[in-house]
Amino acid sequence: MSEKKILKGIKVAILVTDGFEEIELTAPLEELEEYGATVHIISEKTRVRSWKKREWGSEFNTDRSIETAQWDEYDILILPGGVINTDRLRRNSDAIKIIKDFDNKAKLIAAICHGPQLLIEAGLVKGRNMTCHRAIATDMKNAGADYEDYGLLVDANFITARGAEDVSAFLKKIIGILKVQNQY
């Protein structure tokens, strides 16, 4: 199997709504597809708008809705950051239930920047070694996580990254773990 198709058969769900950090969706989408994974953008909306630096960015069509996605089919859930995105998603009870279900099944959850805020909302961070954007570090600590200001951390089925500047390491770790999982 060619190196660029090592993730053939892997299904990836990227859960977003308006206001996600653009690079935190586009980089995983493009790179994981290059490696052969099937990647779906999932939202409560049919079209979502990104945040890019300090203003609204590109719009993206979604592949599935939160309500109709066949969540058991996915091997990994990616939670991009973006203040607006996570603030809206944490108020969506279906999104929080999905995150809890992924964790209950010990499926991989990868959250970057403000994405770990959704793990806080789901009540999943206590005692976990995690990182996130510095703006929610206090929230992470108050929720009981063992927070570290570090670019990337892995704790059991969680991969967390500090922010967009860490997206390359984030993707490298995701691909490495999925490659190993795909061999079995």
Residue 149 is part of a domain; what is its CATH number?
Answer: 3.40.50.880
> Going by DSSP bridges, is the β-strand pair 129-130/38-43 parallel, antiparallel, or unpaired?
unpaired
CB neighbours (10 Å) of residue 182? 17
Q: How many domains are there within the chain?
A: 1
Which residues form the catalytic set?
114
Q: What is the pTM of this model?
A: 0.97
pLDDT for position 2: 52
**Which parts of the chain sit beneath pLDDT 50?**
1
Is 33 within the bounds of a domain?
yes
| 8 A C-beta contact, residue 179 and residue 6 | yes
| 8 A C-beta contact, residue 95 and residue 89 | yes
Chain segment 87-102, per-residue pLDDT in tens: 999 999 999 999 999 9
Is 178 within the bounds of a domain?
yes
91 is in which domain, residue-wise? 22-182
Q: Which of 138, 174, 105 is nearest to 116 (CA)?
A: 138
Is 10 within the bounds of a domain?
no
pLDDT for position 184: 61
Is 134 within the bounds of a domain?
yes
pLDDT for position 1: 44
Is 16 within the bounds of a domain?
no
Is 17 within the bounds of a domain?
no
- Ramachandran area for residue 79 (φ above 0: left; ψ -120 to 50: alpha; else beta): beta
Is 101 within the bounds of a domain?
yes
- Ramachandran area for residue 49 (φ above 0: left; ψ -120 to 50: alpha; else beta): beta
Chain segment 130-142, per-residue pLDDT in tens: 999 999 999 999 9
